[in-house]
Amino acid sequence: MSTAGFSALPTAELHLHIEGTLEPQLAFEFAERNGITLPYASVDDLEAHYRFENLQSFLDLYYSTMDVLRTEDDFAELTLAYLRRAGAQGVRHAEIFFDPQAHVARGVPIEAVIDGIVAGFADAARGMSAQHGAMTGGLILCFLRDRSVDDAQETLTAAMTRADLLLGVGLDSAEVGHPAAPFAPVYARARAAGLHTVAHAGEEGPPSSIWQALEVLQVERVDHGIRAIEDLELVERLVESRIPLTVCPLSNLRLHAVPSLAEHPLMRLADAGVVVTINSDDPAYFGGYMADNIAAIAAALDIGPHRIEQFARNSVDASFASQQRKSELQREIDEWSAAAVHSGSGGS
């Protein structure tokens, strides 16, 4: 089934960095508006740099390009643009990561970042329902693991002025050489404030990185987590605890976390009983939004619509949406499934 075929499948996106949705054309528009000169001659020149050797080579470009994001309006426009694209590819609920430390360090107030993303959500809710269905979701504040724990604590303190607008906290950026364990006090404080907890682990880092996220940070979801396949005990732990993985196939391919999509461990994890979801991570950089990721991995691993439907159901169950909203989304998936069977595309 093509991207277009999967675009009607209702899903929840659980691993999406809003800064990673900054399309090249929009980056140049923001740069002009904010009086910033990008170190690229044109949109084509910027896109030509989207050849990454590893996670760090991507992060270098990622942090450089996000310099164009300066105002609340920038974040609102960026969020609305993402939600429109995502809605057209089946996303009905989006739990969006954002990296406030990277913006505050450039003099952008954390309130401008949060309020802008929330405003983008509000605009999407008003304008998208008739075309793509209702869009819900929320914000997950990510700490940069290559910065200090003290910096993370200060960021959490600053964010508490907007705590009612946050779903949870996460941990991202360079994984290798930056263990999760030191951030345990920050996570304990976030949980005490009623926030959900997730963390990137097992993308480039080994299974021990995932163990730290589970045992020390006590996360409710693991972002990426694909290297769990190397540790049978860890796989069993994920299955028993029903801890979901938010897997990002095209990201893993573009950052060389897997040699090819045909060798991606997604189905091996799923067949072992792990709760696997499919997501787009930083779609402006990695070549695809939700349905693009679904279509690419389905083709590479020969996954039929029935199994893809299960990944969509997993995404809803693994989300932090209300039970009422989860039930609504599951009914939408029921309707998609019935239509797929009727059209003759509902194989295994």
| Side chain identity, residue 80 | L
* Rounded CA separation 199/206 (Å): 14
* Rounded CA separation 147/24 (Å): 27
Please name the residue ranges forming H helices in 216-264. 232-241, 249-254
260 near 253, Cβ under 8 Å? yes
Q: How far is CA 164 from the centre of its chain?
A: 21
Catalytic residue among 13, 72, 77, 203: 203
In 3D space, the residue among 277, 226, 208, 291 whose CA is nearest the CA of residue 8 turns out to be: 291
In 3D space, the residue among 231, 235, 237 whose CA is nearest the CA of residue 206 turns out to be: 231
16 near 96, Cβ under 8 Å? yes
* Residue 203 annotated to the active site: yes
Neighbouring residues of 326: CB distance < 8 A, sequence distance ≥ 6: 316, 317, 319
Dihedral of the alpha carbons of 254, 282, 268, 214, in degrees to the nearest 10: 120
* Rounded CA separation 164/67 (Å): 27
- Active site residue ranges: 203
